[in-house]
Amino acid sequence: MDSIYDLLSNRDFDEPPEIGALKQYIRDNYQSEAGITMRERDIVITVQSAALVSRLRFDMRKMVDTTKVTKKIVLRIG
């Protein structure tokens, strides 16, 4: 039986570059923090205000072009 150390030592816990790029983009352009979850087919961006979600939805094309994200982006208020 493998120990927890053996199981976890082979895992890569680094943040994917897409998540870092999206967080930096939102921080630089909107001075706000975002929670970002990467799933198999999409990326979920959770922000605190509906106004920010509306603004991100409006600027979605620019955000995707700047951050080079290839997955579908889902915006949530949370």
Segment (H or E) for 4: helix 4-9
Q: What is the pLDDT of residue 36?
A: 96
Show the low-confidence residues of the chain (pLDDT under 50). none
Structural domain of residue 52, as residue ranges?
4-77
pLDDT in tens, 36-58: 999 999 999 999 999 999 999 99
Question: What's the CA angle centered on 47, arms 16 and 68, to 5 degrees?
Answer: 35
CATH number of the domain encompassing residue 38: 3.30.70
The total domain count for the chain is: 1
In whole angstroms, give the CA distance from residue 8 to residue 23.
26
Strand runs labelled E in the chain: 35-38, 42-47, 72-77
